[in-house]
Chain A
Amino acid sequence: MDIDGKYYRSFKKRLKMLDDQHSKERAKKQHDKGKLTAFERLDLLLDEGSFEEIDAFVVPDTLGIEFGKVEKHFGDGVIAGHGKINGRLVFIYAQDFTIMGGSLGIVHANKIAKVQEMALKMGAPIIALIDSGGARIQEGIASLSGYSTIFNNIIRSSGIIPQIAVIMGPAAGGAVYSPALMDFVFMTSYTSYMFVTGPNVVKEVLNEDVSFEELGGAEVHAKKSGVAHFIYDDEENTILGLKKFFSYLPSNNVENPPKIEDTNETPDINKKLLGIVPDDPNKAYDVKEVINNVVDRGSFLEISELFAQNLITGFARLEGKTLGIIANQPKVLAGVLDINSSVKGARFIRFCDAFNIPLLTFEDVPGFLPGIDQEHSGIIKHGAKLLYAYSEATVPKITVILRKSYGGAYIVMNSKNLGGDFNFAWPTAEIAVMGPDAAVTILYRKELAESDDPKKLKAELVKKYRERIANPYVADEKGFIDEVIDPAGTRKKLITAFKVLTNKWVESPSRKHGNIPL
């Protein structure tokens, strides 16, 4: 071909038109609001030079316009394609707010659907960078059908390839269901928001004044609703966080996650673990200290850190291999289980189970949160979710009981008979139907009422109870615990245990799907 010939020249001319569309003025509109452009976000996230765009030149379907006008722009407000993150193939689409507010028209939706289908075919993860004003009113119901296609695709791929949504701008009305259906949601503070019904409608219908931020900002979703799993102060950190998180995931539900070499050479025996759980059962401690001293140093990445803080979920690595961690946090609400934490835990467990990520549970739970509020809001069925998720999971499951483990909560947190593969306990473990205080009050009510010094008697009885029942050795002797271990050697024990479980496979009975309480 002649480089100066008409074929090549028109090819180059068209490319230039696309370039010109992504102009400095357009970029400035985003930058002035503290946001990056779609291309800049892709550039930050993907390995240099790895991005291959598809359907860059599609234009909106003008025939389908029912009302109003639509500007003709290349791409129809979304940039889609594939690239690599740290050398791994990923499919991705990034909505472009500078083109018609990133609104979703039928062409826009079809492009997204294309990438989704490719991701499913190739067994590669898909990431959505969302920054959109919502459905394109001009195109009427066609835009809504666009959303339906997208949602359908997400559901078809659910549990087969990891799907991550990153909210970097508005996501309102129907648009929020994409992130809701995907596996993990990242949000950037202040410049993004998610809600089903916006402040204007809220004002109209309920006469309540509320700002975008208050109704559905990042903080709300990270702390109150739990919809956002990660929030960051700005877009660059959001993307850096996403990259980091991504390295823990497998590409699909058949492969294992990539192995990251433990460059810190975490020691197998760690005496620090002896000094974390206090001997006094009423003293709180931070279970994250336990986690950080067992897994590969620096590898613990917490998920939903600000939501239901009484239960910790996150990924970590043991000898470079990804693990899912669940732990009760005694520092918050004494580590009890409640509605929010049960749901948080259940969803996380099911993700790990779908994607063959082994589960490690650290247990120190005195029970479920009592109260009218919890009971009336259905702690019964929500608590059952956690129970269901643990039992349903067929990945390797190991539990380490650190301290308290009473009653129903003992059963729920991956007990032996619920399907725990290995159940270990620390010497500080207290495994019982009920805590010593409550048990003594019930069993010795008469004696305590008749005693001259009930406080002293109670203290003695509690001590006896602790010695005879609420300790790990009784459970050990009966086989409900596999072994009481030396805390300092926890890591070594777990490495060996998980190695043994590498090829674990359990047949699930054949059925369409179970009926998890919802």
Chain B
Amino acid sequence: MKIKNILIANRGEIAVRVMKTARRMGIKTTVIKTASEPAAMYLSLGDNVYDDTENVSEIPVFLDIERIIKIALDSGADSIHPGYGFLAENPYFAQKCADNKIIFIGPSPDSIYKMGNKIIARKIAMAKNIPMTVGSEGKIPTENEAIRVARRIGYPVIIKAASGGGGRGMRIVNREEDMPKMFRMASNEADKTFSDHSVFIEKYIENPKHIEFQVLGDRKGNIIHLWERECSVQRKHQKLLEEAPSLALNDDLRKEMGEVSVKIASAVGYFSAGTVEFLFDAEGAYYFMEMNTRIQVEHPVTELITGIDLIEEQIRIAEGQELRYKQKDIKLNGWAIECRINAEDVQSGFSPSPGKIEQILMPSGENIRVDTGVQAGSVIAANFDSMIAKLIIYGKDRKDALASCKQALDKVWIKGTKTTLPFFRMLIRNSRFLDGSITTSFIENELSTYHVNSEYEEMLAAWLATWLFVDENLDESNLKIDFEEAKNMSPWLLNKRIIRH
């Protein structure tokens, strides 16, 4: 079934990304205009714009299943691409699409559901003998059960939300005394964030690397992997920089983990794009964590080393086509690095720095790719995510990629909000990052500042401060005072003012 019109149920850079491929494939796109960003960049790239600015509902449109389906039907879209976040991993949404005969560009509702619930996913992986951390069999209903299970596993353990991720509903427990409190906190947070208080417990791996594998499957049962991504540069469970491939893996391990990824995906009959996440410990052992049933933010690095357009593949798979690659066709060429430049203040713990982008000038070149949904004049609002742009660099090997990345970062020019750019400029010069030994705890535990201290630039800034002070306060020539004006008024007025007394 050929796809002719995709409704993009998302905004920002991923909406732009999907439309780029759709355009190339000759497919029309429909986008949704919201009241919170009526002038966003993605709106100018869609073939049709559905105006949802009058919507007064409390639920934002991108989370409103009923409304999206209605918009799809009203605008004549035959398919929906959910992007990432929002409803991308909502099995009910995928089901509703199917019920309304709209093609959901993603996996089946069933596989989304199974992999979305971490407890079910664990059970499935266990049945297939996939290497995993020791953990609870199912969900933990009470504090006492938690203590019992933790005793069996051995501290430290981590409590995780069954229905969630991204750090919410997670608590690391080091000692039994802390368990009751942590259990309660994790359950409450899980309930609040995911409307499901179920939690489970795993052994906690200290200072792991986070390595994930991209998989692609078609509806005919063919599944392949497209190598790994190294995502250990994280802060509070948010990824900041990703690479493909990873320095931590040798060819054998890579092949093995790739096969394991395919095994997990096939256990649920997976099709479309997906990511299998692993934790990698200091001894070089890997453990399956979870599977993400959507296209991910960091997909560009995989695209650059394999030369494959993942969005295009998603669309073809959704149309029912068979995968046009076999595993042996997937080559690994070169090295890619992606920097997520966000509107955040790195000197204040990466706190959001919303505002209007006044100027944005990104470097360009053969080995530089910029994915963005932002242009000069765009407003980074506090209620959407803080992403400004993804800067993706390709090199023939890691050394080459790092050198090009450093150069490219120095050329980025963004004005209007604070950005995470100084963090990347520091990271690209950091010896631990350069030798590839970073783990997920590196940023929070081992870095004291998140930018490069330049005495030089500090001095220039000091001069500027002094200059501003002088200009404002000491430079009297600035004050052009006209005293005659004070005495100059119409006799009518002067008369009245004086007579009053």
Direct contact of A and B (CB under 8 A): yes
29 contacting pairs across A/B (C-beta < 8 A): A87-B481, A87-B483, A88-B481, A240-B473, A240-B474, A244-B473, A251-B486, A253-B497, A254-B494, A254-B497, A254-B498, A256-B485, A258-B486, A259-B481, A259-B482, A260-B479, A260-B480, A260-B481, A260-B482, A261-B482, A263-B480, A280-B36, A321-B485, A356-B497, A502-B490, A503-B490, A505-B492, A505-B493, A505-B496
* Residues of chain B in range 87-145 having any CB-CB distance to chain A below 8 Å: none
Q: Does A200 contact B (CB under 8 A)?
A: no
Pick the 4 closest A-B CB pairs, nearest first: A259-B485, A261-B480, A259-B482, A505-B496
User: How does the 8 Å CB contact mask read for A499-512 relative to B, with 1 for contact and 0 for none?
Assistant: 00011010000000
Q: B481 contacts which of A258, A460, A462 (Cβ < 8 Å)?
A: A258
| Interchain CA distance A225-B231 in the complex, whole Å | 54
Q: Does A66 contact B (CB under 8 A)?
A: no
Complex interface: chain A residues within 8 A of B481 (CB):
86-88, 247, 258-260
Complex interface: chain A residues within 8 A of B20 (CB):
none
Q: A254-B498, A505-B492 are in contact. Are A263 and B478 (CB under 8 A)?
A: yes
Cβ contact within 8 Å between A257 and B478: no
Complex interface: chain B residues within 8 A of A86 (CB):
476, 479, 481
Cβ contact within 8 Å between A258 and B478: no
Q: Does B328 contact A (CB under 8 A)?
A: no
Complex interface: chain B residues within 8 A of A447 (CB):
none
| Interchain CA distance A11-B493 in the complex, whole Å | 49
Q: Does A279 contact B (CB under 8 A)?
A: yes
User: How does the 8 Å CB contact mask read for B464-501 relative to A, with 1 for contact and 0 for none?
Assistant: 00000000011010111111011111101110111000
Q: Does B461 contact A (CB under 8 A)?
A: no
Q: Does A455 contact B (CB under 8 A)?
A: yes
Cβ contact within 8 Å between B489 and A256: yes
Chain B minimum-CB-distance residue to A462: B56
Question: Which of B474, B482, B485 has the largest number of chain A CB atoms within 10 A?
Answer: B485
Q: Does A26 contact B (CB under 8 A)?
A: no
B positions within 8 Å CB-CB of A? 35-36, 56-58, 356, 379, 473-474, 476, 478-483, 485-490, 492-494, 496-498
Q: Give chain A nearest CB distance to B221 CB in angstroms.
A: 45
| Interchain CA distance A275-B358 in the complex, whole Å | 13
Q: A460-B56, A463-B56 are in contact. Are A250 and B35 (CB under 8 A)?
A: no
Cβ contact within 8 Å between A503 and B487: no
Chain A minimum-CB-distance residue to B480: A261
Q: Does A255 contact B (CB under 8 A)?
A: yes
Q: Is chain A's binding surface mostly helix, strand, loop or mixed? A: loop
* Chain A interfacial residues counted at CB < 8 A: 33
* Residues of chain A in range 486-502 having any CB-CB distance to chain B below 8 Å: 502
Complex interface: chain B residues within 8 A of A321 (CB):
485
Q: Give chain A nearest CB distance to B136 CB in angstroms.
A: 39
User: How does the 8 Å CB contact mask read for A297-334 relative to B, with 1 for contact and 0 for none?
Assistant: 00000000000000000000000110000000000000
Complex interface: chain B residues within 8 A of A356 (CB):
497
Cβ contact within 8 Å between A503 and B480: no
Q: A459 contacts which of B56, B356, B478, B496 (Cβ < 8 Å)?
A: B56
Complex interface: chain A residues within 8 A of B485 (CB):
256, 258-259, 320-321
Complex interface: chain A residues within 8 A of B487 (CB):
255-256
Complex interface: chain B residues within 8 A of A253 (CB):
497
Q: Give chain B nearest CB distance to A133 CB in angstroms.
A: 31
Chain A minimum-CB-distance residue to B57: A459
Complex interface: chain B residues within 8 A of A240 (CB):
473-474
Q: A256-B486, A503-B490, A505-B496 are in contact. Are A280 and B35 (CB under 8 A)?
A: yes
Complex interface: chain B residues within 8 A of A275 (CB):
356, 379
Q: A88 contacts which of B473, B478, B483, B492 (Cβ < 8 Å)?
A: B483
| Interchain CA distance A169-B85 in the complex, whole Å | 60
Chain B minimum-CB-distance residue to A508: B500
| Interchain CA distance A275-B474 in the complex, whole Å | 34
Complex interface: chain B residues within 8 A of A462 (CB):
56
| A455-B58, A462-B56 given; 10 more Cβ-contact pairs under 8 Å | A240-B474, A247-B479, A256-B487, A259-B481, A259-B482, A261-B480, A263-B480, A320-B485, A321-B485, A503-B490
